[in-house]
Amino acid sequence: MGPRETLHPPRRGVLLFRLMFRPGLSLTLLALAGAPTFGATSSLVRMEASTTWAENISRSSAASDWRDALRWEARASTGLFHQWTEGLTSVAAFDAGFERIPRYTANDATTAGLRLSARQKFGWGAYAPAVSLDASLHRRFAPIDGDDGWTGAASLQASRRLSAAWRVAATADWQQHYGATPIWDTRQHRVFGTLTWDITRNLQLTHGNGRLWGDFTAHASWPVWERALDGSLGTTIRDYYRTVAWGTTHSFGSGWVTYRVTGRVSFWWLELSPALGRNTSLPLRYESRFSVNRVGVKYRQDLWTLQWLHRF
């Protein structure tokens, strides 16, 4: 649930642009711009593939309902970079992605959409601060009825290189998924920061930490959900869960329920990123998420991700 950057300092002439999108996910676009030429436009292409081992991928509160699984993702992006002035640049891109969970295929999804990004650098040289503004709109297609819909997102990021080896960034973003049914109709806000250490020219370490507030979906087997509704887990949980949007989706097994709650999520991650060449990197990332809904029910998730990134 956080941003990812290129894994090593780019060679001269490579410009970095970050596009923020859904929890858990972000995209960095790179454009070969050469010497600054105001009004110049150039194309960019990026591909990525990843595999994630997710503990409690079902985001279930009861230990008996925890489901662990492997998730595969692939994404491609193509777009145009434009240099307006010495410090102002923009990117317009189309990207598409596919997510598959072989053990629980009901949760597979395909997305496609547009992204716009603008970046303003204040001052000269590598240590000048910069501000980026990003916006995106994507269409989601999913096997579960009602999970289809449109996702809109926007983010504002401030970043600065502190030294040849260290840089920091702070980001605030918003996301709204306009689901086909109330269960999937969610809105979220996040704030997070990152600290990046370029250990060597070809090895980078990034730490991130942040908070999320808003709606999120969770899942429960029917026996656990029935206990929540009949008051066996307490009257506070019973009264709240009777007011939330829910339905039987068979998401992680026969009779499983998906429900939408409001709460907060604390998350942090650590990513080690070796470069495999000038345009290819292989990040290894660990991420921890701890969610608490409005009535104090807790959900814990741990994710281990190996990713392949390549730019053309």
Domains of the chain: 14-34+43-311 (2.40.160.40)
Whether the model clears a pTM of 0.75, i.e. scores above it, the answer is yes
Copy the structure tokens of residue 284: 């290894």
Query: For 171-185, what is each residue's pLDDT tens digit?
Result: 999 999 999 899 999
- In tens, the pLDDT along 214-252 reads 999 999 999 999 999 999 999 999 999 999 999 999 999
Which pair of tokens denotes residue 125? Answer: 């040289």
Q: What pLDDT score does 19 carry?
A: 32
Report residues of the chain scoring pLDDT below 70. Answer: 1-38
pLDDT for res 38: 66
Neighbours of 35 (CB within 10 A): 7
Distance CA 252, CA 67 (A): 8
**Res 124: pLDDT:** 85
Confidence at residue 27, expressed as pLDDT on a 0 to 100 scale: 33
Distance CA 255, CA 308 (A): 36
Radius of gyration of the chain (CA): 20
